[in-house]
A and B are shown apart, each in its own frame.
Chain A
Amino acid sequence: MEKSLDLINARIRDGTARVVTAEEMPGIVDELGEEGALAEVDVVTTGTFGAMCSSGAFFNFGHADPPIRMERVWLNDVEAYAGIAAVDAYLGATQEAESKDHLYGGAHVLEELVAGGTVELRATSRGTDCYPRRSITTELLLEDMNQAIMVNPRNSYQRYNAAANTTDRTLNTYMGTLLPRCGNVSYSGAGTLSPLANDPGFRVIGSGIPIFLAGAKGMVVGEGTQHSAGGGFGTLMVTGDMKAMRQEFLRAAVMNGYGVTLYVGVGIPIPVLDTGIVRSTAVRDGDILTDIIDYGTPRRDRPSLARVSYADLRSGSVEIGSETVRTSSLSSYRQARAVATELKDWIERGKMELALPTRRIDPAKRSKPMRETAVTPRVRDIMNRQVISITEDEEIRVAAKRLLKDETNHLPVLDGNGTLVGIITTYDVSKAVVTDGRLRQVKDIMTRKVIKTTPDEPVDIAAQKLERNNISALPVVDATNRVVGILSAIDLGKLFGGRRRR
């Protein structure tokens, strides 16, 4: 059996459509079977509510008198992109205010407008014959604008990697606070309620279909930026009229140590046309798998620590190796449920009819990494290969002489096999001399926990290690922990003085 969209819409119009949320659907399919569920259910509503950084809105402010061609625009001191037309601008959610003493950004401005608050518009221009005015400052409400059209380039991720941190310091990321030594796991996404998880083949989610966007009736524009459905990470570009949005579903947020973001509520109604759609909407948390990624690796390709389901994540803890680690969600399941429930109510009351995509989204597409034409400088490019080192059972006096003779401040310490076991600095030697005469050997005073780098580590990451640990040199080691070079702050200076002259 198949069901036509016309039939579903006719039922919506006369108030007889059976609408359920994606949370209710798996149980219905269990009870009635696929054919039974197809006969019973007309629409499945989905919902998600979480941080969606790639969000923002186009505004048209209307013309002033005398008129101005705005070249730079600020809303509450947050700069908006004005390179589109005289009084148009796009405000991005993550753009931060220039002069605020606390973190405040585009997301806060968007929330303020939706909440009915006043926002200060400031703009500058060089002045032209047709647009003579050079600056303007005014206060605007959302209703004062001709248009306030939210266009979010990348929303509603199909699923998202969960995050943990194997390093020994706390990381502040867009995935929230990640405690050291895998102290917690942070995840995002509504699992069984997630819109794209209910139509991973993009059969009925595509361009032009109606959606719930932050409390307003919106629409899918098409595939989102970085759409990578082939790998299970599909995204959507969505749009909606901000004037119909509600603050409840549009909330500014600050990720500590990272920056501003916007929490957005997105819900998509799925017409139940055939048993294929019955199957895809019967998805449960346990069916949706994701990786726990180690954000302690400061690279694009980060290792996976474990593969888990959303059922595992939502249970409150997961297993990584032999450890039980507590989980935190960044997205709100309660709010995702509120989105799906409100959308269900709209459709039951005939307030929204469904449509099929005017253009399909590619379910097999994969996003590519950046093509980089300039080679990222690596530690091997600038490290000093003439390493002066010392063995751990030498006397401190020998170390002092060597530091003096070679005009260096750091000596990597090697064991009998030539592998790195510690480091000593001129400071360690001085301290040994003034504090206690009993300390005789290098191994008595060396720092055993050495912060080090490797030849192929990008220079930016090595520089971050120096800065974060307040040190001035890093031994460079190979895979067998043998010292092949030393990288000092002075070497970094060469790099910035040379190729990166500003």
Chain B
Amino acid sequence: MKLLLAFSRRGQHDPGREPVIARVVKETGVLVNVEKANIDSMAGEMLIDVPDADAALVRQRLEEMGVTVRVMENAIARDEAECVDCGACISVCPQEVFSFDEEWRIRVSSERCVLCGKCIQACPHGALSQQG
């Protein structure tokens, strides 16, 4: 399961200043895969992947440390009225989120998405968007 973490770095003791991921891994023993991290001077955002069974525990510990946690279920949304099933999204995606089904319709495996945004720009029909 993918979790999107947001944390502040304003104050010296804000979670963004602490080794929160390392702490969670050490305490819980859950292997966390960091898929994307965007950290600047004031705040940070991080996308992590954790085994479904451990997600609740990881989430609870992170929240206790002051991190805002959101479960990414449908990271990428496809507007069926706009999509013409061309397939322009398929090969630009580094995660192989998109594929054709037997009827040559686009199939979206949203759980693989790491929010890189490449498909959104590549879609000629403006049919893809990131779930806010």
Contact = CB atoms under 8 A, between A and B. Distances in A.
Interface of A: 49-51, 176-177, 179, 183-186, 251, 253-256, 261, 263, 316, 325-335, 337
A382 B103 CA distance: 57
Contact of B84 (A179, A263, A316): A263
Nearest to A178: B92
A254 B126 contact: yes
Nearest to A188: B86
B121 interface: yes
Given A177-B121, A334-B105, A328 B84 contact: no
Interface of B: 84-92, 99-100, 103-105, 118, 121-122, 124-126
**Interface of chain B, main secondary structure:** loop
A185 B87 CA distance: 12
Specify which of B104, B121, B126 lies most central, judged by the most chain A CB atoms within 10 Å of its CB.
B104
Contact of A334 (B85, B89, B90): B85
30 contacts: A50-B86, A177-B121, A179-B91, A179-B92, A183-B91, A185-B91, A186-B88, A251-B125, A254-B124, A255-B124, A261-B124, A263-B84, A263-B86, A263-B124, A263-B125, A316-B100, A326-B90, A327-B90, A328-B87, A328-B88, A328-B91, A329-B86, A329-B90, A330-B88, A330-B124, A332-B85, A332-B86, A333-B85, A333-B100, A334-B85
A335 to B, nearest CB: 6
Contacts of A316: 90, 99-100
Contact of B92 (A177, A251, A329, A332): A177
Contact of A330 (B86, B100, B104): B86
B90 A177 contact: no
A346 B67 CA distance: 61
A332 B84 contact: yes
Contacts of A261: 124
A328 B89 contact: yes
Contacts of A251: 84, 125
B84 A176 contact: no
A402 B14 CA distance: 52
Contacts of A179: 91-92
A331 B105 CA distance: 12
A335 B91 contact: no
A176 B122 contact: yes
B85 A335 contact: yes
B128 to A, nearest CB: 12
B91 A184 contact: yes
Nearest to A257: B121
B121 A329 contact: no
A329 B125 contact: no
A334 B118 CA distance: 23
Specify which of B87, B100, B104 lies most central, judged by the most chain A CB atoms within 10 Å of its CB.
B87
B51 to A, nearest CB: 28
A176 B90 contact: no
Contacts of B91: 179, 183-186, 325-328
A208 to B, nearest CB: 30
B122 A177 contact: yes
A177 B91 CA distance: 9
Contacts of B124: 51, 176, 253-256, 261, 263, 330
A253 B99 CA distance: 21
A325 B92 CA distance: 11
A334 B121 contact: no
A327 B96 CA distance: 12
Nearest to B118: A177
A333 B92 contact: no
Nearest to B125: A253
Contacts of B121: 177, 256
A173 to B, nearest CB: 11
Contact of B88 (A49, A177, A325, A337): A177
Nearest to B126: A254
A332 B87 contact: yes
Given A185-B91, A254-B124, A254-B126, A49 B118 contact: no
A316 B87 CA distance: 10
A295 B122 CA distance: 17
A361 to B, nearest CB: 28
